[in-house]
Amino acid sequence: MKKYYSTVVQELGVQVHAFKEARMLILFNENAPKELREYCVLHCGNKLEDTVRAGDVFCLGKEEYRIVFVGSEVQKNLRDLGHITLRFNGNEEGESLEGSLYLESKGVADVKVGDEIAIYRP
Which residues carry out catalysis?
43
Largest CA distance in the chain: 37
pTM (predicted TM-score):
0.94
Show the domains of the chain with their CATH numbers. Answer: 2-121 (2.40.33.40)
**Would you state the pLDDT for residue 16?**
93
pLDDT at 53: 98
Whether 18 shows a pLDDT value over 90: the answer reads no
pLDDT for 25: 97
Distance CA 45, CA 41 (A): 13
Q: What integer pLDDT is reported at residue 75 of this predicted model?
A: 97
Q: How far is CA 61 from CA 80, 98, 110, 116, in A?
A: 22, 25, 8, 5
CA distance 21 to 2: 31
